[in-house]
Amino acid sequence: MPTISFLGTGSGIPSADRFFSSHLLHLDGVHLLVDAGEPCVHLLRDRGDLLRDIDAVVITHGHVDHIGGLPAFLQGAMLTGRTKPLPIYLPGEMISPLRAWIRALYLTEEGLGFPVSWRAWEKGVQEGIAGTITVTPRANRHLEQCYRTLVGADVERACASFSLEIRKENFRVIFSGDLSDPLELLPWVSEPLTVLVCELSHFSPEQLVGALQGAAVETLCLVHLSEEYAREKSDVKMQLEQSLPALKDIFLPEDGEILDF
């Protein structure tokens, strides 16, 4: 039975109630960690042997609330005796800085006790994981919008951000990552979708409704809520249920909740 465990559902603003972005997808016997916001290592340790058993880590983009827990995850996997190879899929421009960060933290890849393979996403190129599951990245403009406007930003720097389609036969899930506009979802929702795990921090519920009108989405899970929408969860849910009656279910999970299919 496929499941999604919502490890961290918070936005980039620190919160005592919600951790940074991290989700665990269990599908056809395969465990995928989707984003590694901290404190994902503790939350996975609390679930048994997952630090040793996870089949792959897939990262949507390099913002700290989506990737900041990765060094601790690697150290935790080392200390709990992992030997299984670990592929990490992520934007290519993040690979060298992350490897340097790991060395700066007095870890060595050779000393982890398991091989790590760093695999750069290519736009629209499907990746096979564990022989049964495919992951397809589609670029969005979130970082171009958020990073290039910052004072002191390097306008020449690559800043890739992706939404991810994970698929096994008729089970199809989209993790939106962070978006610049919900209309970026349109290419994903033009065919039937089992579940859409979508952020609600960088746009309004009304904008999301506009993007999902007529979409064949069975379940919509809203995560990464802004502080405003996190305080108004019941109102947001009611608004979306009224505006998108074709959706079978709308779910606004708390950290630690699990959705079964």
Instruction: Give the pLDDT score at 143.
Output: 92
Instruction: Give the pLDDT score at 51.
Output: 95
Q: pTM of whole model > 0.75?
A: yes
Instruction: Give the pLDDT score at 219.
Output: 97
Whether the bond between 39 and the residue before it is cis, its omega within 30 degrees of 0, is yes
Residue that is written with structure tokens 């990073």 in the block? 147
Q: Which residues of the chain have pLDDT under 50?
A: none
Work out the angle between the directed axes of helices 95-104 and 70-79 (0-180°, nearest 10). Answer: 50
Q: How far apart are CA 172 and CA 186, in angstroms?
A: 15
Q: How far apart are CA 50 and CA 44, in angstroms?
A: 6
Instruction: Give the pLDDT score at 249.
Output: 95
Instruction: Give the pLDDT score at 137.
Output: 97
Domain-by-domain residue ranges, the chain? 3-260
Instruction: Give the pLDDT score at 118.
Output: 98
Instruction: Give the pLDDT score at 223.
Output: 98
Instruction: Give the pLDDT score at 208.
Output: 97
Q: Is the domain defined by 3-260 classed in CATH 3.60.15.10?
A: yes
Q: How far apart are CA 12 and CA 220, in angstroms?
A: 21
